[in-house]
C-alpha cells in the first residue's frame, strides 16, 4: 500500500544489569540501520523483547486526546446536572396553565412547538417547548407547566 508505514521487527543486542549480552526483538516504527543505537525499555520477566519509546509527538497527541475526552465528559456531566436542576425547579416552582400552539417545527424525531399563554399576572408570554409523543398533531391548545426565569427566558414543558 502506498503511503502507509508498516511496523517492522528489528533485532537488537544489549547488555543487561549483570553484563550479559542479550539478543532481543523490538518493534520499530522508524527507519533504523545496522549499528544504530536505539533507546528502549525491557521488562525483567521478558528480556527478549525491547519496547521502543514512541516519538514525542505521539505522546502529545495521545495526552491531548485523553484531555479532550476528559474535558468533554466533564462538560456533559455539568450539562446533565444543570438539566436535572432545571427539571426539578420546573417541577417544584412551575405553574400550570393552558397555552395556544402557534407553530410546530419537526426536527427528525423531535417536535418543537411555539406557544403563547398568559402567566399568573395576566402577561402574554411566548415560549418554545418540546412536544411529547402523545400530543395530537392537530391539537391547537395544550396544558403546560412553566417557570418565568427572566423577561426573555421562560422554561416550559407540556404536561
Q: Domain residues of the chain, as ranges?
A: 8-57, 90-158
Nearest CA among 115, 87, 114 for reference residue 100: 115
Q: What is the mean predicted confidence (pLDDT) over 96-123?
A: 89
Supply the pLDDT for residue 1: 40
Has residue 111 got a pLDDT over 80? yes
Cα separation, 54 vs 29, in Å, equals: 8
Measured CA to CA in angstroms, residue 129 lies from 85, 109, 141 at distances of 17, 14, 13
What do you get for the CA distance between the two ends of the chain, in Å?
60
Mean model confidence pLDDT for the chain: 84
List pLDDT tens digits, range 33-44: 777 777 778 887
Backbone angles phi, psi at 10, to 5 degrees: -120, 150
Has residue 71 got a pLDDT over 70? yes
**Bigger pLDDT: 42 or 67?**
67
Looking at the domain that runs over 90-158, which CATH code has it been given?
2.40.50
74: confidence class by pLDDT, cuts 50, 70, 90: very high
Cα separation, 45 vs 126, in Å, equals: 71
Torsion-angle region of residue 26: left (phi > 0), alpha (psi -120 to 50) or beta?
beta
Supply the pLDDT for residue 2: 47
Lowest mean pLDDT across 28-42, 53-67, 124-138? 28-42
Has residue 18 got a pLDDT over 80? yes
Supply the pLDDT for residue 8: 74
Sign, CA dihedral 67-68-74-77, equals negative
Amino acid at each position: 500500500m502506498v503511503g502507509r508505514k508498516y511496523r517492522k521487527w528489528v533485532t537488537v543486542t544489549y547488555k543487561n544489569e549483570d553484563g550479559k549480552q542479550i539478543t532481543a526483538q523490538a518493534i520499530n516504527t522508524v527507519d533504523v540501520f545496522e549499528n544504530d543505537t536505539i533507546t528502549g525499555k525491557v521488562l525483567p520477566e521478558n528480556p527478549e523483547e525491547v519496547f521502543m519509546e514512541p516519538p514525542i509527538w505521539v505522546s502529545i497527541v495521545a495526552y491531548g486526546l485523553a484531555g479532550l475526552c476528559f474535558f468533554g465528559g466533564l462538560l456533559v456531566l455539568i450539562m446533565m446536572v444543570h438539566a436535572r436542576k432545571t427539571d426539578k425547579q420546573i417541577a417544584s416552582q412551575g405553574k400550570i396553565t393552558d397555552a395556544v400552539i402557534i407553530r410546530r417545527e419537526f426536527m427528525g424525531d423531535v417536535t418543537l412547538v411555539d406557544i403563547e399563554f398568559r402567566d399568573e399576572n395576566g402577561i402574554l408570554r411566548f415560549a418554545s417547548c418540546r412536544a411529547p409523543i402523545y400530543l395530537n398533531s392537530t391539537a391547537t391548545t395544550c396544558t403546560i407547566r412553566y417557570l418565568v426565569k427572566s423577561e426573555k427566558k421562560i422554561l416550559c414543558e407540556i404536561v
